[in-house]
Structures are given as C-alpha cells and as structure tokens.
Structure 1
C-alpha cells in the first residue's frame, strides 16, 4: 500500500493556522488534546492531473463543507470559513503544483490543541492542510484486478456510539483494528457489519454490490456508514446512465453470491472486490458495471466528462 514514507512526493510546505510553513516545521506539542483523546476531524481530498495537463481538485467544496459538519457534530468551532479553507487547499497546491505530476492527496484536519487537559477541556481549535502524492490506496493491481476482503470480527459502532456523519479522528481506531486484522490474515481490506449483522462499510470505504439479477445495491444512510462523497458521485454516475440503485440493507452472504462488489472512497477511488471470505465474487474479476463506474469516474476527475465539470476546481 502506498504511504507518505520513503520517496513519495510531498508538499514542501503545509498550511497551519492561517499561514504556509515548511513541512518539517508542521509540529504540535505533545500535550495537544487531540493526541490524547482523539478529538479532531479531517478530510481526504484528491487533486488530479486533468487531460489538458492542469491540476484540479475533485469536489473540494463538498469535502470542506463536510469538514465543517464534522466539527459541528463535535462542538468544535472552526476559526475559518468554508471559503477560507477551500482557498487554503488551493494556495498550498499553487505554491508547488509542478511537483505533483500525478496529482495530490490533500488532508485538511482540525483538532483541539494544547492547553487544558481532561475530557472537559475546551482549547482553541487548530487547523492544518497538508498534501502528498498518494497512489492507489489499495494498490494499482487492486484497481485493475480486484482485491480480497474479509468480514471483520470488529463491528461498525452503533449510531449512539459512533457519530456516523462525522469524519472524526478517534473513531477510526475501530477501522484501524479491523484493517490490521484483515491484513494480518492475508487479506487486503476489512468489511465491517453493523450491530444487527448487516453490511455497513469497509474500514475506509463505502460498498456496492450487483446481484445476479443485475440490481445494484448499497447500504443506506440509515446504516452506520459515512455519507461518502465518492459514494454520492457513483450514485449520480449510475443513475445518470439510466441504472437504478437500491439503497437497502444487505447481508454478508449477499456479497458472497453477488456478480460484482466494489468499494468507493476518495483514497480507494473505485476498487473492485474479487473475493470475500474466501468466496470468489462473480467471475473473480471486475465486472461490467464496476468497469463502467471506474471508467466514468476517472474520466470525470480528469476533466473529460463535461456534464460533471462543476465537480472540478482548477488550481
């Protein structure tokens, strides 16, 4: 899996609390409240090289608006406007866009800073934006051929435990444990069920399936899932093509006997699933609907689909 370590390209600067500073100066104190208790919110946003060589951020406004929603859920007041944080993302890329030949992954994050400690503390909110070159999250081969997934022994947290509309830092421990369990068992990704045993989502992706009748299904937003922006993009692409999508609860064995299964997410993009719990999905390779979604998605983010051009913010 790709990471920011090694020789991966990263921005020479980061945006921290309203100004650009050198990457190595982007530090916080060890007594930062969020480090101890996990009170922070974040986004993952991709910028792509478009077909004409420009750099464009995909669905920037929607991501930043969700960041504000996440902060509101956590009762964190952000000291900036949506427009200011959108501009922060763009400013960071403008300063070094030539180094991101393959595009960039942006990480806006807001977190409770240092000051008082304890669960009742209320410290100033700090905000940062970083960028790096992050390839296919589940691997280029996974994008092409599909990945192996395992239903996790960890459960996606109940809606009274997990604020499911927020991308909240501390909540991702649940996903980390599920992901590690799957990888240590020899799989690529974990699938988490809800407390009733229905499919929720993967450790960091939403999930779609196509059954033997050709019906496309995805868990509904009444399930404990993130309201994924890539999920929304795929719903739009599929419905605009004349296909219907049922947003309904599904069981794990529905994945076993599906013709196609695929994950969606900003990091994972559109990743086919060729196997779940040692059961081959369909023909064991990306199916026609998955391929259609992949092709349309990548054309869209590269500026080759005029009907979706409003989703791109050019740097």
Structure 2
C-alpha cells in the first residue's frame, strides 16, 4: 500500500517521519478522516472546511490553492492503490517547526485504511473516563492527542464492547470514543449533545441534523444527563465511515435493531442521498 507523504507517493513501509516532528514530540497535529466509497471521497468540502477552520484557529498558513492540491493528491493516491471503499486519513503537523513558531514546512500524510468495523449495528458501554468540559480547543479542531477517546476505546474493547460513551466533567452526555451520539427520547424526540458538551463538531453529525430539519423531523441539540439516555427508546452513533448506526445495547440494556432502524429509516435514506451526491463533487 502506498501513502502520500508530503506529496510524494511512497510504499508505507518506506515512509518515515523526522524524530524532531512536532506531532511526535508535542502531539501537535490535526487530522481528518474521510469515507471512501466507489473510489471517491464523501463530503470532501465539509471536511476541508472544518480543517481550514482548525488551521485558522492554530494560526497555520497554508499555501494558495491548498484544497484543490489536496484533492488532486487524494485522487492520485486512491487511483494508485485501486482503493474502492474504506478510510482515507489526512494527518497534518507543523513538521520540525516548533509549535509556537511559524509553520514553514509541515508534515502532510495521506493514508488509506480498511474500515474498522463493517457491521450495521454497535454495542456500547459507559466509560469511566470523562471529556474535559473546559478546553482551549473549539469543537472543530480534530486533534491527534485525544487521550479520552483512545483510553475509552481500549476500555470498551477490553470489556467486549465496540465503543464507549463518555460524559463530560459536568456529567452531561458528550460523545463516543470516535463517534457522535444521537438518541430518541421516550417522548419520541431525536436528540444529540450540543457543541458545548465537549464534543467534536462531526461532519456526519452535521449532515444528519441538516437532513432531519429538511424532513421536518423534530431534532434537539442540548445538555442531557445519563439518566435520560438510559430511558431513551433508541440510541445511535454517527461517524464518517459508519453514517447513522443503531446501538443494540448500552451496557446490559438491549435494543431491538429492526425497530431502531425503522425509527430512522427515512432519515437514514436522506443522509445516504446527501452522501451519494457529495461523491459526484469529488
């Protein structure tokens, strides 16, 4: 498998970073994960918009025409590897430049990966770890040094689950290890934690909210306690590579997959149409 390291196609086994790279030394790196389907990238513009926001916040100046150059590199990498479906990750660090100085020669890595899990349902547990409510980073910065996500994911695997849900330090629902959270309340309202709950401003989350509003589905963003989630009719997670996925359990509590799927079938169809349309723009 070839990767793109700083615009050069290299066999993954032969691609190396400097030991002085700030992503390695300081964890000063951001990334985007794209879903590849039919050899094309879904929601490219939405992901890049978020990435550019992050760069602006971190005061990273990119070369002119960066987005188009990156798209061209992605197309070349996908074609070179004859890659049809999976994950494309773009990782960006300030290179050997110290994080508090101007970025001169960043490290840019494009890599292709199989999907971690192609199941159509997920088993969730509640993590002992918490997301810090007060953070210096806004929700549109997707950064690599995300210990709550890594530790809670490992915790879930060790306990026999697929992923873990976390609350924040104020005990409000936050998100999953590597996903956003949705649920249908006992009153029948589709709900998701708001951006001030220490969550990532997920692209898929945003598109699902957009689709729900277009369909006239009642959807609410807010602050919720774990008790409300435990009383919910159904629970779902969302991510770039999994779309909107029903949970079949949260700890010992079981949920009927068919009923959970039917409850959001129209929304799921609308989201998939948006996803399919986005492929035509890549």
Number of aligned pairs?
280
- Separation of aligned partners in 1, 2:263 and 2:29: 37
- Separation of aligned partners in 1, 2:267 and 2:83: 25
User: Is 1:312 aligned to residue 279 of structure 2?
Assistant: yes
SS of the aligned residue for 1:140 comes to coil
Question: Does the 8 Å CA contact 2:139/2:195 hold for their aligned counterparts?
Answer: no
**In the alignment, what sits opposite 1:132?**
112
SS of the aligned residue for 2:23 comes to helix
- Separation of aligned partners in 1, 2:107 and 2:48: 12
RMSD of Structure 2 on Structure 1 (CA)? 2.4
Q: 1:264 to 1:104 in 2, by over 3 A?
A: same
Q: Tell me by how many angstroms 1:218 deviates.
A: 0.7
Q: Tell me by how many angstroms 1:190 deviates.
A: 0.9
Question: Does the 8 Å CA contact 1:193/1:199 hold for their aligned counterparts?
Answer: yes
Question: Does the 8 Å CA contact 1:77/1:125 hold for their aligned counterparts?
Answer: no
Q: Tell me by how many angstroms 1:213 deviates.
A: 2.2
Q: Tell me by how many angstroms 1:43 deviates.
A: 0.2
Q: 1:155 aligns with which of 107, 121, 130?
A: 130
**In the alignment, what sits opposite 1:92?**
77
Q: Tell me by how many angstroms 1:299 deviates.
A: 4.6
- Separation of aligned partners in 2, 1:163 and 1:222: 9
Question: Does the 8 Å CA contact 2:211/2:270 hold for their aligned counterparts?
Answer: yes
Q: 1:28 to 1:313 in 2, by over 3 A?
A: farther
User: After superposition, where does 1:1-315 map in structure 2 within 5 Å?
Assistant: 10=1, 12=2, 14-49=3-38, 55-79=39-63, 81-96=66-81, 99-101=82-84, 103-114=85-96, 120=100, 124-135=104-115, 137=116, 139-141=117-119, 143=120, 146-170=121-145, 172-281=146-255, 283=256, 286-301=260-275, 303=276, 309=277, 311-313=278-280
Q: Tell me by how many angstroms 1:26 deviates.
A: 2.3
SS of the aligned residue for 1:70 comes to helix
1:262-283 per-position Cα deviation (integer Å, ceiling 9, x unaligned): 00111332221122232224x3
Scaled by the length of structure 1, what TM-score is found? 0.80
SS of the aligned residue for 1:152 comes to strand
- Separation of aligned partners in 1, 2:213 and 2:138: 28
- Separation of aligned partners in 1, 2:263 and 2:208: 11
Question: Does the 8 Å CA contact 2:96/2:105 hold for their aligned counterparts?
Answer: no
Q: 1:233 to 1:120 in 2, by over 3 A?
A: closer
1:4-48 per-position Cα deviation (integer Å, ceiling 9, x unaligned): xxxxxx4x3x22223333433321122222102100010001121
Question: Does the 8 Å CA contact 1:205/1:268 hold for their aligned counterparts?
Answer: no
SS of the aligned residue for 1:271 comes to strand
1:194-239 per-position Cα deviation (integer Å, ceiling 9, x unaligned): 1211101111111111112221111112321111110011112222
Task: Point out the more displaced range, 173-182 or 269-278.
Answer: 269-278
Q: Tell me by how many angstroms 1:134 deviates.
A: 2.0
